[in-house]
Homo-oligomer: A and B are copies of this chain.
Amino acid sequence: MANSQDEHDIFCDVPMIHEDRVRSVYESMPDDDFLFNLAEFFKVFGDSTRVRILCALHHSELCVCDLSALLSMSQSAISHQLRVLRAARLVKSRREGKVIYYTLMDEHVKQILDVGTEHLNER
């Protein structure tokens, strides 16, 4: 039987040092499709404009104008980002006449912002 450092198999053409461990992890991993969606979800938090919008909505319901003024950014830029946030189901909107109000979708958004904040604060 070959040395484990020479082992190559279904996983890839690179050597594996701990084949058993890798195999075990492989079986416990969620499928790639799910992990892709998870990354896409986090990607939405990975932009300072969107984080600032989420943080603002954490405190109060706001319309696009308000967010524009608050963040000193063009209405178009804010609208584009709100579209991304809506698609990721992180915010929801309601119309009142010409004005559209945005709020956070649920508690998960706040939880994630909080855990991130904690991590940054611990040095």
Which residues of A line the B interface, CB within 8 A?
9, 11-12, 14-18, 21-22, 24-26, 28-30, 32, 34-48, 50-52, 55-56, 59-60, 62-63, 65-66, 68-75, 99, 106, 108, 111-113, 115-120, 122
Contacts and interface: CB of A to CB of B under 8 A. Distances in A.
A48 to B, nearest CB: 4
A79 to B, nearest CB: 12
A69 B29 contact: no
15 contacts: A12-B68, A12-B69, A12-B70, A14-B74, A16-B69, A16-B70, A17-B66, A34-B120, A35-B55, A38-B51, A38-B117, A40-B46, A40-B48, A42-B112, A112-B112
